[in-house]
Amino acid sequence: MEVFKCGLDSPIVETTKGKLRGYYFNGVNIFQGIRYAKAKRFEMPQPVDAWEGVKDAVSYGMICPVLSQPMPAGEVMTPHRFWPTSEHCQYLNVWTNSLDKEAKKPVMFWIHGGGFFSGSSIEQECYDGFNLAKMDDVVFVSVNHRLNAFGYLDIADFGIEKYKNACNVGMADLVEALRWVRDNIAQFGGDPENVTIFGQSGGGEKVTALGQIPEAEGLFAKAIVMSGVYMNGVVDNASEVDSKAFVEKIMDVLNIEDHDVEKLAKVPSAQYIWAVNKALVYFDKQGKKVEWA
């Protein structure tokens, strides 16, 4: 018999910022759409503000916008989920069969595929963590982060301090998500000292990248790379377009005078995507590719 529970008093977990209410289904506690960070465009992620009362965590959070409309493909073999998007997409999900903070279960931290430009934590139905939590006795975490021009646009040459790491804020989101796991996962029955990061394709590339980021040191104990490696000599991740020229072209499309990146940071998301695509086409006609990695 299937059992579902979502009540005023359970399942509720106390995080460092406040209480979250998830739901229980067939032996697994599920918490969806947990906001692990906040960030302005091109800027580094920051911890979320604390709250009073209990926040619901029973719906998936927003996913990062992609630069082209996703199209259903191969749905019989690999069913997909299509979901609302926002550049404010720092959300993660947790599946666990225990809320005992002394349980110390292994933690699996899943990074989705899609290169550095597309995908989400819920893009494929197989990204659901229910079976791993129920049958393999682990705490499963999946995460969204900034992608493409929202997560990896290089504007360092414009000399604005708060934007100096814009080309890496997508990876910085993942580091911030791992910090959230370190600080909170024990409340979900997980062991913060036994976290395995794993990902497929672009997610595998991000696993290898996290292994090279000093700020990520100590936030995970193990790593699994599934058909995606990001290192010199293995794959060609070099962009053929000068980063400053690319950003200037985006601003030219938007008629931003004096190439003021402060104004670029305030352009509505849809208009920003439109301009990025115009710039991509411009350089593509010159035979030059832009590689978001």
The tens digit of pLDDT for each residue in 107-117 reads 999 999 999 99
Which residues touch 175 (CB under 8 Å, ≥6 apart)? Answer: 210, 213, 215, 216, 219
pLDDT band at 231 (very low <50, low <70, confident <90, very high): low
Specify burial of residue 84 (Cβ count, 10 A radius: 0-12, 13-18, 19+). Answer: exposed
Region 89-105: mean pLDDT is 97
41-82 residue pLDDT tens:
999 999 999 999 999 999 999 999 999 988 888 888 888 888
Contact 50, 36 (CB under 8 A): no
Rounded CA separation 12/279 (Å): 47
Which pair of tokens denotes residue 256? 């931003």
Residue 85: its pLDDT value, please?
96
Contact 19, 55 (CB under 8 A): yes
From residue 276, give the alpha-carbon distance in Å to each of 3, 238, 262, 279.
Answer: 47, 18, 16, 5
User: At which residue do the structure tokens 């019989």 appear?
Assistant: 76
Rounded CA separation 70/78 (Å): 14
The helix (run of H) or strand (run of E) holding residue 218 is none
Residue 229: its pLDDT value, please?
73
Main-chain phi, psi angles of 110, to 5 degrees: -95, 130
Least confident among 3-17, 198-212, 231-245:
231-245
Residue 230: its pLDDT value, please?
64
Task: Reply yes or no on whether the pLDDT at 233 is more than 70.
Answer: no
181-194 residue pLDDT tens:
999 999 999 999 99
Q: What is the DSSP letter of 135?
A: H
Residue 210: its pLDDT value, please?
96
Residue 237: its pLDDT value, please?
58
- Find, among 164, 290, 167, the residue nearest to 237 by Cα: 290
Least confident among 15-19, 82-86, 224-228, 280-284:
224-228
Top-confidence residue, 2 or 278 = 278
pLDDT band at 232 (very low <50, low <70, confident <90, very high): low
Beta strand ranges found along the chain (DSSP E)? 4-5, 12-14, 19-21, 23-25, 28-35, 54-56, 91-96, 105-111, 139-143, 190-200, 222-226
pLDDT band at 227 (very low <50, low <70, confident <90, very high): confident
The full DSSP string for 30-95 is: EEEEEE--B--TTS--BPPPP-SSEEE-BSPPPB---SS-----STTTS-B----B-S---EEEEE
Q: Helix (H, G, I), strand (E, B), or coil: what is residue 175?
A: helix
Residue 293: its pLDDT value, please?
85
Mean residue pLDDT across the chain = 94
Task: Reply yes or no on whether the pLDDT at 214 is more than 80.
Answer: yes
pLDDT band at 238 (very low <50, low <70, confident <90, very high): low
% the chain with pLDDT above 70? 97
Beta strand ranges found along 116-175 (DSSP E)? 139-143
Residue 27: its pLDDT value, please?
95
Task: Reply yes or no on whether the pLDDT at 234 is more than 60.
Answer: no
